[in-house]
């Protein structure tokens, strides 16, 4: 645990080498968890965090590791191509956003 965070840390982490999620106890407070809140809010908040961390296993970095944490290209060529096309689409979309104050 010490190499990732202290137990009181309010964050969660995905470790691609272990294919695991680090979920410090510190995140079970504040806006993410409260003993006086309805369970559905607590579960929803924690579920959101867990889901977010799981996606790191399939992002541009996590996808480079197989289920055992080995640095290996395990995607098929077609999957890789579609992933890169989606990345390109997102980059193009965000490149078209402007902030008026910056363009004056």
pLDDT tens digit sequence for 2-57: 565 788 888 999 999 889 999 888 888 888 899 999 999 999 999 999 999 999 99
- Asked if residues 19 and 41 have their Cβ atoms less than 8 Å apart, the reply is no
Look up the pTM and report it: 0.76
**Residue 68 domain flag:** yes
Number of domains in the chain: 1
**Residue 6 domain flag:** no
**Residue 36 domain flag:** yes
Which residues form the domain of 50? 13-73
- Burial label for 42, CB within 10 Å (0-12, 13-18, 19+), is middle
- Asked if residues 17 and 65 have their Cβ atoms less than 8 Å apart, the reply is yes
**Residue 97 domain flag:** no
Residue 26 tokens read as: 């510190």
């Amino acid at each position: 645990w010490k190499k990732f965070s202290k137990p009181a840390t309010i964050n969660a982490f995905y470790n691609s080498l272990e294919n695991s999620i680090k979920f410090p106890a510190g995140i079970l407070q504040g806006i993410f968890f409260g003993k006086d809140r309805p369970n559905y809010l607590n579960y929803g908040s924690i579920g959101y965090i867990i889901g977010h961390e799981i996606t790191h296993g399939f992002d541009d970095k996590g996808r480079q590791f197989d289920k055992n944490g080995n640095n290996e290209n395990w995607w098929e060529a077609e999957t890789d191509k579609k992933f890169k096309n989606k990345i390109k689409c997102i980059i193009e979309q965000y490149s078209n956003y402007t902030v008026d104050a910056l363009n004056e």
